[in-house]
Amino acid sequence: MLFINYEEIKMRQHANPLSKVFKDIQPIPPLKEIFNDFTKPLHLDIGCGSGDFLMNLAKNNKNWNYIGLEIREKLVIKSKSKLKDESIDNLFFAYGNAEYLIEDCIGKFPVDVVSSVSFNFPDPWFKKKHHKRRVVQPLLINKISQLMANGGYISIKSDVEELFEYMDLIITNSKIFNTYIYQDSEIIHSYNPINLKTNREMYVTRKKLKVLDRIYKKI
């Protein structure tokens, strides 16, 4: 079994989202209980890892709200404790399998509240028999679309070409989202206007590996 040392928290490198232990989630509270101003545009980062990327985003873009969803509880506990020290009021970290967390928000969140969603460098689960453990699945894309207004965005990034093509196929096959290229003038209004990088993206960039990315717009 592979272990990863994330800022001194020892844990399994990959969590199997289909395991029974991940049937339980800690539901995301109503937005008005977690944000100072819940009417701001809302971004969800699925598989947010250590949370550093979202902390930076939230500090730099006070006109957005952010929720990070993460299946490894120790990372969420650590992220929440960093958040307390920083007094940031536009960021929340949620523990659980993203599929169940999102499902729980349908009917609880205001209609069409989510402006954008990111999947940054999801776990690749290389073996074919493990593809069903990959986080991007038709059901999740459908559930996300139920929280999002037309014109909302999904962004995917990966350094694994086969996984990237797999995610692309699932999202385009949904017939809910079309591939989209931001106009220059739109980037400033996106969830990540100054192109901050996640920990994985910084690592991949240092190693001079190729980053594949694509944006989809809800039609």
Ligand X SMILES: C[S@@+](CC[C@H](N)C(=O)[O-])C[C@H]1O[C@@H](n2cnc3c(N)ncnc32)[C@H](O)[C@@H]1O
Residues near ligand X (CB under 6 A): 15, 17, 46-49, 69-72, 97-98, 120-123, 135, 198-201
Residue closest to 41 by CA, chosen among 26, 31, 29, 33:
31
* Eight-class DSSP state of 144: H
* Shortest CB 103 distance to ligand X, Å: 12
Q: Which is nearer to ligand X, 44 or 148 (CB)?
A: 44
Instruction: Kindly give the residue spans of alpha helices, DSSP state H, lying in the chain.
Output: 31-34, 52-60, 73-86, 98-105, 138-147, 161-173, 184-187, 199-206
Q: Which is nearer to ligand X, 37 or 162 (CB)?
A: 162
22, 88, 140, 157, 203 from 93: Cα distances, Å: 16, 12, 19, 20, 23
* Eight-class DSSP state of 74: H
Q: Which is nearer to ligand X, 49 or 152 (CB)?
A: 49
* Shortest CB 190 distance to ligand X, Å: 17
Helix, strand, or coil (residue 53) = helix
Residue closest to 51 by CA, chosen among 25, 33, 78, 26:
78
Catalytic residue of the set 123, 159, 168, 213 = 123
Nearest-10 crossing angle of helices 138-147, 98-105: 30
* Shortest CB 39 distance to ligand X, Å: 26
Q: Which is nearer to ligand X, 57 or 123 (CB)?
A: 123
Indicate the Cα dihedral angle 42, 195, 119, 122, nearest 10°: -150
* Shortest CB 59 distance to ligand X, Å: 17
Respond yes or no: is residue 159 known to be catalytic: no
Q: Which residue is nearest to ligand X (CB)?
A: 47
Instruction: Tell me phi and psi for residue 207, to 5 degrees.
Output: -80, 0
Q: Which is nearer to ligand X, 70 or 83 (CB)?
A: 70
* Shortest CB 45 distance to ligand X, Å: 7
Residues involved in catalysis: 123
